């Protein structure tokens, strides 16, 4: 498969082995990229949709941590026609080299080197699987080819207060800019000259010239003083060699986007940011437009009956405002506002759901209330029960409550009064 621009053969590698500790309990038994998002998506669907929409149809997904539901999702959803030699293959950690599982993200790629050798691409695009955004990677590849760099790092401005979550980039004043320094998750870096409270952050998406990547992974593997991490070790090595450029995400133009959603990128790595991204989605005029069909976000479409809204027996009419509702949902005499209802959610008479994200198969029984909460798959809220209304009571019942007061209940929990 040749890239539309530059006529280079491209292999895409999606790093999907992250644990997502800060998304507990949602990551108790699924990898972070498998965490549901927006009702019927999984986080990894955004990265994979971007890769495929960019025209890169040879895709390897590297998984590791609790990868069962992720592997199932990828193989079911992302089955591709083999006719043109295209594929999305998930590769679980195989302990192929030695006894260890992947040590870090660079080691994950190193241990899958046979896939790179078999495919023999000119260019390797490496992307994370944890973010919500649209991006045309072919534009980044085009810049990579133009500069002749060995490594190109996608970058976006972020608040300086969040620097310790990102690779922070200092650039030379050229255009495209060469990277002068790359610090992985520094505590108190300087802000940008034109905006002291912002830093230039790595998005965790990289383009490499294949031979340079292979050489860097081999030399990293031979060393003991590295964490075998893409952001922590491999990218800094390219920067030290004076061979890394930045790709400014502001330059990326995606078909169908508007001025408003241009440049949208959300790291949903904490429960609060995950919740906020959902509330943005159901807001009156969301920044991120799921309905942009010129750059569709693909997912698995299960055969389900349409969502249904009814007046329950001796009840009131169902009322749903500013919410997204997936197939298979039944809202019977319940009131729902600013919420996301995933497939097969059932809401019964006189129940109220407000400011909440309900995963697949959640059932809310009569007169129950769910407020500012994220309920994982299959949570059952019995008649008259309340979740998220009294945060102290939530904590006392063992439910997780975030600093900003969002209650999170793990998979399959039967709520108690």
Structure token digits, residue 146: 């133009």
Compute φ and ψ for 93, nearest 5 degrees. Answer: -55, 130
> Does 185 belong to an annotated binding site?
yes
Angle, in degrees to the nearest 10, between helices 68-77 and 43-53: 40
CB of 127 to ligand ADQ, least distance (A): 8
Q: Which is nearer to ligand ADQ, 201 or 364 (CB)?
A: 201
Closest approach, Cβ 17 to ligand ADQ, in A, equals 2
Min CB(289)–ligand ADQ separation in Å: 22
State which residue, 166 or 264, has the beta carbon closest to ligand ADQ. Answer: 166
> Cβ closer to ligand ADQ: 167 or 263?
167
Distances (CA, A) of 387 to 3, 329, 394, 400: 50, 20, 7, 11
378 marked among binding-site residues = no
From the list 183, 176, 101, 167, the residue with the least C-alpha distance to 145 is 176
202 annotated as belonging to a binding site for a ligand: yes
As measured in angstroms, the least distance from the Cβ of 154 to ligand ADQ is 9
Phi, psi angle pair for 393, to nearest 5°:
-65, -35
- By C-beta, is 164 or 390 nearer to ligand ADQ? 164
Burial class of residue 22 (count of CB atoms within 10 Å of its CB; 0-12, 13-18, 19+)? middle
Q: Which is nearer to ligand ADQ, 53 or 64 (CB)?
A: 64
Contact 417, 382 (CB under 8 A): yes
Q: How many CB atoms lie within 10 A of CB 20?
A: 23
Min dist CB 16 to ligand ADQ, Å, is 5
Specify the residue, 128 or 410, whose C-beta has the smaller distance to ligand ADQ. Answer: 128
What are the backbone dihedrals phi and psi of residue 189, each rounded to the nearest 5 degrees, phi first? -75, 165
102 is in an annotated binding site: yes
Let me know if 47 is exposed, middle or buried by CB neighbors in 10 A (0-12, 13-18, 19+).
Answer: buried
Cβ at position 30, least distance to ligand ADQ in Å: 12
Counting DSSP H helices and E strands in the chain, the numbers are 9, 29
Nearer to ligand ADQ, 38 or 231 (CB): 231
Closer to ligand ADQ at the Cβ: 169 or 353? 169
Side-chain half-sphere of 167: how many Cα atoms within 13 Å? 24
Q: Is residue 204 a known part of a binding site? A: no
Considering the complex, what minimum distance in angstroms separates the CB of residue 225 from ligand ADQ?
18
SS3 133: strand
Residue pair 377/347 in contact by the 8 Å Cβ criterion: no
Q: How far is the CB of 410 from ligand ADQ (least distance, A)?
A: 20
With beta carbons less than 8 A apart as the criterion, state whether 59 and 44 touch. Answer: no
Name the DSSP letter for residue 312.
P
Comparing CB distances to ligand ADQ, the nearer of 107 and 243 is 107
Cβ neighbours around 8 below 10 Å, total: 17
Tokens of 236: 């800094």
State which residue, 207 or 370, has the beta carbon closest to ligand ADQ: 207
Could you give the C-alpha distances from 299 to 27, 74, 78, 160, 214, in angstroms and in order? 20, 9, 8, 34, 32
414 touches 375 (CB < 8 A): no
Tokens of 61: 């997904």
Q: How far is the CB of 368 from ligand ADQ (least distance, A)?
A: 35
Binding site for ligand ADQ (CB under 6 A): 15-18, 32-33, 62, 64, 102, 104-105, 108, 128-130, 166-167, 184, 201-204, 229-231, 267
Straight-line distance from the first to the last Cα atom of the chain, in angstroms, rounded to the nearest whole number: 57
**Shortest spacing between CB 14 and ligand ADQ, in angstroms:** 8
Detail the residues annotated as belonging to a binding site: 102, 167, 184-185, 202
Q: Binding site for alpha-D-glucose 1-phosphate: which residues?
A: 102, 167, 184-185, 202
């Amino acid at each position: 498969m040749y890239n539309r621009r530059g006529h280079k053969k491209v292999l895409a590698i999606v790093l999907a082995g992250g644990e997502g500790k800060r998304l507990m309990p949602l990551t108790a038994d699924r990898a972070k990229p498998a965490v549901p998002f927006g009702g019927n998506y999984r986080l990894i669907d955004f990265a994979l949709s971007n890769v495929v929409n960019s025209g890169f149809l040879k895709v390897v997904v590297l998984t590791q941590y609790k990868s069962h539901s992720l592997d199932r999702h990828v193989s079911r959803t992302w089955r591709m026609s083999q006719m043109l030699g295209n594929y999305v293959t998930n590769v679980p950690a195989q302990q192929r080299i030695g006894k260890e599982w992947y040590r870090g993200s660079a080691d994950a790629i190193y241990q899958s080197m046979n896939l790179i050798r078999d495919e023999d691409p000119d260019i390797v695009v490496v992307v994370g699987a944890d973010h919500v955004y649209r991006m045309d990677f072919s534009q980044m590849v085009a810049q990579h080819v133009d500069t002749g760099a060995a490594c190109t790092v996608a970058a976006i401005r972020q608040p300086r207060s969040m620097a310790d979550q990102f690779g922070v980039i200092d650039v030379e004043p050229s255009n495209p800019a060469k990277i002068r320094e790359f610090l992985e998750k520094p505590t108190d870096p300087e802000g940008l000259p034109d905006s002291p409270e912002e830093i230039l952050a790595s998005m965790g998406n990289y383009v490499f010239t294949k031979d340079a990547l292979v050489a860097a992974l081999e030399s990293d593997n031979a060393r003991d003083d590295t964490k075998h991490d893409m952001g922590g070790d491999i990218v800094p090595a390219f920067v030290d060699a004076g061979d890394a450029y930045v790709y400014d995400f502001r330059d990326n133009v995606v078909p169908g986007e508007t001025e408003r959603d241009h440049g949208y990128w959300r790291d949903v790595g904490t429960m609060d940011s995950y919740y906020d991204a959902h509330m943005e989605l159901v807001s009156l005029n969301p920044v991120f437009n799921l309905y942009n069909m010129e750059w569709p976000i693909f997912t698995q479409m299960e055969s389900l009956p349409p969502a249904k809204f009814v007046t329950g027996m001796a009840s009131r009419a169902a009322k749903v405002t500013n919410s997204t509702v997936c197939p298979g949902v039944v809202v019977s005499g319940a009131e729902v506002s600013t919420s996301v209802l995933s497939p097969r959610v059932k809401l019964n008479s006189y129940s109220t759901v407000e400011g909440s994200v309900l995963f697949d198969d959640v059932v809310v029984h009569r007169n129950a209330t769910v407020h500012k909460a994220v309920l994982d798959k299959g949570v059952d809220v019995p008649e008259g029960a309340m979740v998220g209304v009294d945060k102290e009571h939530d904590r006392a019942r063992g439910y997780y409550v975030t600093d900003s007061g969002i209650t999170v209940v793990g998979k399959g929990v039967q709520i108690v009064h």
